[in-house]
Every structure is written in C-alpha cells, then in structure tokens.
Structure 1
Amino acid sequence: MNAPHPPKVAGIDPTVPPPTHTVPPAPPAPEAGPAPDAPAGTPPPVAVPEAPGSLLQDRLAGWVSDLTTLHELTERMCRTSALDTALEELLRAGAALVGARRGLVVWEPGDGLGPRTTVGHGLGRADLGHLETVPREALLTSTADLLAEPGLDPRHREVAARLGYAAGHAVPLATDDARLGTAVWLYDEPAAPDEHHRHLIGRYLRQAAEHLALLLEVERTRAYAATLTGELLPSRLPRLPGVQLAVRHRTGPRGGDWYDALPLPDAALGLSVGSVTGGGPGAVAAAGRLRASLRAYAVMEGEDPVAVLSDLELLLRLTEPARSATALFAYCEPGARRITLAGAGHSPPLLTGERRTEYAETSLSAPLGMLACWEAPSVEFRVEPGETVLLYTDGLLRRTGETMDRACARLRSAAVSVPRALRGDPGAVADHVLATLLPGDTARGDEDVVLLAARFG
C-alpha cells in the first residue's frame, strides 16, 4: 500500500499578476553574530524585534492586495452577459484563487426549473463525460488526498486515476434566496487551500453568485419569450404543387413579429408577414391575435388582399386602439405563378432569380391603426419559373445597423450573390441571405427577424 501523501497548501496561482501597488515583502534580517573586532567569548548582540508599525504596514499591504485582486476578478465577472461565459469566467478566476489547474461547475438550480449543465475548465468533453459517471455526492465533496480517503467510491478513484487528479476543493454556489449549483477545482497532487484562500474564494463566489442569478433570470425570460412566440406561429409550412416554402425566424427580446402560410381554396396559397408596435409579452400576444384573425379573413376573402387588410385594420382599431401594426398579405396562385398583394406600411417583397433581383412595386400606405379608415390599392405581378419571393419584416433591415435605404440595398446585394447551385432550395437561399446580411452574431438589436422564402416552379 502506498503511504498517503502529505497534503499541500494551495495558494493563488502565480500566473495571476499581483497588483502594481502591492508593497514588496521586507528582506529577511541577517543573523546576528559577534562583531568582527570583539574579543573572544563575547556573546552575540540580541536581535531587536521588528517594530509594530512595520508589521501593521505589511498586513495592510496584504489586505490591499487581496481586495484589489477580488475587485479585478469581480469586474471581469460583471462584464459577462451570457450564462455560459460567466461560468467559464468563474472557473478561471477560482482556479487562480485556489491554485488549481482544472475545475468544473455542476449547474443545477434548486428550484428545478433548469437549465441544468456542466461546464469545465481545462477539461475536454470526454473528461466531463467520465466525471458525469462519478456519483454526484462523491464528486462534489472536498477531498485533500483521494488516495488516503477512506471509503472512496471505486468509480471516483478510477476516474481520478484516468484524468490524473489527486484532490478536489468543492464550494457551493448560492445566493441568500436560491441554490444554483456547485463549483469544484481539481489538483494534480494532494493539496487544499489554506484558511486565507478559502476566505478569498468564498468572498468572490458570493459576489459571482448574485451575478449568475441575474443571468439565469435573463436566460429563462428569453427562453420563455422564444417558446411563447414559437407557439403562436405555424408549427409547419404547407406543401402545395408548384411552390416550395422555407422560413427563418430569429426571436429578439422585444418580439411582436409574425408570419403565416396557409392553403386556400382553388389550390391557392396565402402568405403574410407583419409586426406590431411595442415590445414584450404584450406585443407577442397581440401579434398572435392578429395572425389568427388574418387567417380567418384570408379563408373568407383571400383573393382580395385589400379586403383582408381592411378587416384586420378595423379589428385592430376596435380591440387594441393603442397599437398599430405593419402587415403584408399575398394571395398566390402557384399554377399560374401569379401573386396579388397588399401592404400596410410594410417593406415590399424581393424577387430574385437567374435573370433579375428586384423589389416588387407596391403602393405606399400607412400602417394599420394609423388612419381612421385604411385602404390602399393592391398590386399584381407574375413570377418567372425558378424565381424566389422573399417576404421579411423590418427587423431584418434594422438589425444591420444601417439606414433603411442602405439596408434595402444590402439585402438586394445579398440576394444577387446567392450561388446558382443554391437557388433551387428556398431554405438555402434564406440561409445565404441571412449569413451575408447579418454575418456572425446577429444580435445587434432587439428586433425580431422573419424571412419567408417562396420558390415557384
């Protein structure tokens, strides 16, 4: 049997630079000895104890250094805006404070509403998979020396040997009101933080937990809004001869955009997009009500888009007088490749194909709810075989950060640049346009984005 290793005392990782204003430690005093010219047998002089003021100065310097380190690490945490990023920052800062190379956070909010996840620092996906097989109670317990731990779970010992760690320090993540999870830092050799560093990591985690709790609420709110919006929109797109449909919808914090595609009598198809003013759950609910009402009007009189939008405007004025909305409704006849549409304050559709990429000519009209009685003439045009009609909400243009004229020009350029090999798939066309118009992270605004593509054969 191997003799247990004496546990080491872990400290702050030396890779974290100390504050520039930290007072350096005083050099050790030389040992006292007899003077060189003293007669033989003369006893050495008695060492004078260090002045109390010097000890106090060193202690204050240590406190200032600790507070500065905690302040810098807490500032880094507060600059994070996503839960995953914040957990990674917590592990990185904690590893520096306790002198560990690796660690993980088991995130499981105590209210059971999720999300539940495990985030690692210095651990690969396979490593996290092995750690998931260790009983949770054994993994989330501090152990200064796993080899010397009596009654260690055999699976824990096996995983520790495989991953090469010999000790762990676990700290719960919690606020005054809720438990959030547990953070564990792993040491390559038997080790444990001393009382001073346990105090530092405790203070840091108390501040970090409050920030993590706020990010958790933000993430839950966004997920709730996205779920609510998704439930108010079509669960699937219809399949009709002569037309292929695809849609891309990205929910923003404000909400309020909708789209629809529904089969109509005589093998026709109704397409609509729109947006209501305001934001939040109220705007999402209002968009759902308008979409449901427009479906009913489209079934009854879809061949006349002006009548459909006129009825919708009357309903909006009577039921929600404080709101206005933009809308576009298109009555499509795939067999004849003919489209009749009307718009109320909405951006015109974009037609793109091998021979042309241009905006459909629509009449200028105010949004619904802005005039005492809305009415605008409809327009009719034909689509060439293989052309795709793009219907979109203004959020797509606003997220570019450009003026509306420049954003429209960029949208047309994105449609022109679609490769020929992709033009037969409306989903690929929509993806290319989004990737070109909004490269990288598209969250440059709080607007919804809707892009509905209809390719006619």
Structure 2
Amino acid sequence: MSAPHLPKVAGIDPAVPAPAHTVAPHLPSATPQPESGSPAAAAQDLSPVDQLAAVQDRLAGWISDLTTLHELTEQMARTASLDDALHELLRAGAALVGAQRGMIVLEPADGRGPDTTVGLGLGRADLGTIETIPRSSASYGRILDGLPEEEGDSTARLEIAHPDLRNEPALDPRHREVAARLGYAASYAVPLATDEAGRLGAAVWLYDEPTEPVDRQRHLVGLYTRFATEHLARHLELSRARTVADTLREELLPSRLPRMAGVRLAVRHRTGPQGGGDWYDALPLPEGALGLAVGGVTGSGPSAVAAMGRLRASLRAYAVMEGEDPVAVLSDLELLLRLTEPARSATALFAYCEPALRRLVLSGAGHCPPLIIGEQRTEFVETSLSAPLGMLSCWEAPSVEFETVSGETLLLYSDGLLHRTGEPMDQAFALLHAAAASVPKSVRDDPDAIADHMLSTVLPDGRDTADSPEDVVLLVVRFD
C-alpha cells in the first residue's frame, strides 16, 4: 500500500511531519520487525480498522495544517503596505507557535532601511524596554548581527529558543530582568530572510509561561515565514521606491513658504501611490510682490513628476521676468510645453499679488477658479473659461484683477481636491463652497487651521491621506 500524495496548496510543500497526537500506523512489509515496546511495535499490534483510523487521523492533521497555512498566506497576500505585512506576519506566526505576544525588528542587511520595530501585545514603552537588553543577548540582535553557522545550518535558517528565561544561568541578567518586568517567561525567534534580498529582520514571539514550540509548530512557522518574507521583501522594495519618489517630488516643490508682510501662507499637498504631477509655488518677486501658482500635468509616475519639476522651474523664471502680466507668463509656459512636451498637456493658474495693496492679477489655463473667504463673502473668483496648456495651437486668455480686504483668505487648489470627493463636479464645487463658508470664526486668522478644516470637511474619514490616483494641492493665502 503506497502512501497517499496530498495536493500542494498555495505553493506549500505538503510533506510536513506527522501530527504529534497520532501514532504512525504499521503497514506490512519485508523490513525487519521493530523491537518490542517501540512505537512501531505498538502500531503493529493495531487491528486493520485501527490502522486505517490512524492513517485517516494523520491525513486529517495534514489537511488541517495545509488549510491553515493556505488561509494565512492568502491573508498575507492581501496586505496593502509594508506595515500591514509586518503586523500580519507577527499575528499569524503567533497563532502558529501558540504565543501570546511578539515583535518584529526590521533591519535590512543592505543598510538601505527602513529600520523599524512593531509589536503584538506590546506597547511602545514595552518595545523600548526590550531594546535595553544588550544586543548580544537579545534573540533578535544575535540573528541580525549574524550568528556563526551551527551543524551546517546557515544563519538564514537558524532559530533561537529560550524555553525558560528565568532559569537560564548563562543568560544576561538584564535579559532576565526585562522578561520578569514585562511578564514573559519564554521566547522563540526566527530570522526573516530571502535568498535574493538576504536578511531583512527577525521575528520574536513571547510566552507567558516556560515553554517552546514543538517540532511540528516550528516546521509550520518555517513554511509560513518563508512565504511571508518573500512577500515582505516585495513590500519593502515598493516602500523604498515610494520613498524615493516622494523625496524627489518634495525636492521639486518649495522647501518652505516665503514670509512677507501683509500675508500669511499655508499649504497641504497629498499625492497618490504612483506620484502625480500636481504642484504649487509661492515666490517673492521684485518690489515686494508675490507670485502664487498651482497647476498639474497629465499622467502619473516618475515621468509626470519630472515634467512637473521642469514646468514649475520654467514658470518661476517667467514669473521673475514677466510677473506683472500673468497672461504673458502662461503664454511663455504654453510655448515651452508645446516644444518640449508635445504629447503632454497641463493646467495652471498664476497670480501676481501685491500684499501691501491686497491686489491680485491672475490668469488661468483650464484650472479651477480660486475661492475667497471673508466676513462679508464666500465666493469663487470669476475667471475666463480657458483651455489647458498644450491643447490648442496658441493659448491665450484674459487676466482677472481683483482686490481683497483685510482678514480675507484666498484658496488656490487643484482639481484633485474635487475629484477625491467622488461627487460630480458641480456638487464637488458646492461642497467646497459650503466647507469654506463653515470655517469657524475662531480659526479664520490661522491659514493652517483653515487648510485643515477644508480638508477634513471636503474629504472626511481620512480620504485626504488615502491612496488615490488624484493628487491634492491646497494653497491658503491669508491677507492681514
């Protein structure tokens, strides 16, 4: 009688050790008979019915374990971020080894980061206390710093178990002290490593009582962490790519807003996961003037970010030369876009502002109209309808001149703020107007508070920070 072959589930090798609660059945063969009193001899005494029941029990144990691993790997595959993946790995591993608490120390061996620590059932203060253990004594420290190979096993597969921390004489006293303070009596640690990425970190699970995982639990958590760490490595690379893109995008935007008499500024900038081309600018101009701009290029990703940087830098140059004439600024920008980015279009709005006079002259190219908030009015600035840059053979639109009074605020924003509401554009504009009209009087002299109120009202429940293909730019200009 040949042994049954179980189907593979989610890429997991079904050839796992037999469940501890079963006894391997004896099948007739020509092999020498086992010694009397051995488990195999005991199995030999079973009747055929009992042998079949033992085989069924063993198969049921395998199927149960494979089903559990399949469910856990599916849950890991659904994680959307590096932080989610770390917490899911920690939770699932704790369930497999029967632990109550644990921690993951992410410290990639290539030194590129990010370095972070997450806990399960441990607060920030608890994690800080564990970090006071000398690294050479802490399980995660020994794994991350690289232990010597033992019995032919590489450090990538090495595990560290402390079944009774209170009674290990060779353990560092500080380690025992921390364990007693936090109330754990045993620990089990495994490396998180892949062949391609190398060592990424270490996972440590903690037990309230002296114990250690049995062989079957170790095998199952080894199978799970092998898959989970591969998934973790993909999240890590994606997180690094996003960090680089975010850094590049932020470097292409103003590092700080200018401070000028008579006006105060605040800005909120949100980007999607791929990075978009929405931008803003506020630059001092000759004779105490201020140039204000918002805009966006079509597309997303690195190419859109690069195009945004080129467009913003060019607009700065044109603003210095022709700032008093916003139409000329955008006309020059449109010509440059057609010559250098013929397959791309962009929206833009540029305003020449004289803070001392509270006077503005602005022109827009397919961009949303600004919004004025004041004691006596909350209204959109009436701008001429115009096409985006790069859409026509020659762009031109008249400028608009208007004045504000002391205490009024001007809002410049991107259309992503409207699109993220999920409403039709007319309703989104109405929602934006209602949010502006509802700004509490107590915060109307604080541009940062106004910006926060607008985002939380127009995009409630964290929709301003949620992943979205739409960027959000909100530039708040408060006139004193």
* Class of the TM-score when normalised by the shorter of the 2 chains: 0.7 to 0.9
Residues 102-140 of structure 1 show CA distances to partners (whole Å, capped at 9, x for unaligned) of 111011112111111111111122211110111234222
Conserved 8 A contact 1:399-1:444: no
Residues 350-401 of structure 1 show CA distances to partners (whole Å, capped at 9, x for unaligned) of 1111111111001111111111111111111111221100001111111111
1:226 aligns with 2:249: no
1:449 aligns with 2:448: no
1:156 aligns with 2:163: no
Deviation at 1:49, TM superposition (A): 6.4
> Out of 319, 330, 350, which is 1:329 matched to?
350
1:210 aligns with 2:210: no
Alignment partner, residue 146 of structure 1: 165
> Out of 305, 316, 326, which is 2:326 matched to?
305
Residues 327-366 of structure 1 show CA distances to partners (whole Å, capped at 9, x for unaligned) of 0000111222111110001011011111111110011111
How many residue pairs get aligned? The number is: 414
Residues 151-209 of structure 1 show CA distances to partners (whole Å, capped at 9, x for unaligned) of 21121111111112121110111122122111011112221111111111011111111
Conserved 8 A contact 1:169-1:192: yes
> Out of 167, 182, 194, which is 1:175 matched to?
194
Normalising by structure 2, what TM-score?
0.84
> Out of 180, 184, 188, which is 2:204 matched to?
184
Conserved 8 A contact 1:400-1:444: no
**Secondary structure of the residue that 1:142 maps to in structure 2?**
strand
Alpha-carbon spacing, 1:50–1:146, altered in 2? closer, same or farther (3 Å):
farther
| Matched-pair identity in % | 71
Give the partner amino acid of 2:359. R
Alignment partner, residue 381 of structure 2: 360
Normalising by structure 1, what TM-score?
0.88
- Give, in whole Å, the separation in 2 of the partners of 1:183 and 1:376: 62
Give the partner amino acid of 1:104. M
Conserved 8 A contact 2:456-2:462: no
**Secondary structure of the residue that 1:71 maps to in structure 2?**
helix
Alignment partner, residue 313 of structure 2: 292
Larger deviation, residues 153-162 vs 142-151: 142-151
Q: Unaligned 5+ residue runs, structure 1?
A: 1-24, 27-45
> Out of 218, 221, 236, which is 2:256 matched to?
236
Residues 274-295 of structure 1 show CA distances to partners (whole Å, capped at 9, x for unaligned) of 1011111111111111111111
Residues 230-260 of structure 1 show CA distances to partners (whole Å, capped at 9, x for unaligned) of 1011111112221111111112223211111
1:280 aligns with 2:279: no
**Secondary structure of the residue that 2:137 maps to in structure 1?**
helix
Q: Unaligned 5+ residue runs, structure 2?
A: 1-20, 23-44, 140-159
**Secondary structure of the residue that 1:321 maps to in structure 2?**
coil
- Give, in whole Å, the separation in 2 of the partners of 1:75 and 1:269: 54
Larger deviation, residues 46-55 vs 321-330: 46-55
Q: How does 1:68-87 map to 2 (within 5 A)?
A: 68-87=67-86
Conserved 8 A contact 1:257-1:287: yes
Residues 61-109 of structure 1 show CA distances to partners (whole Å, capped at 9, x for unaligned) of 1111001111111222222212222212211111111111111101111
**Secondary structure of the residue that 2:287 maps to in structure 1?**
coil
Alpha-carbon spacing, 1:325–1:226, altered in 2? closer, same or farther (3 Å):
same
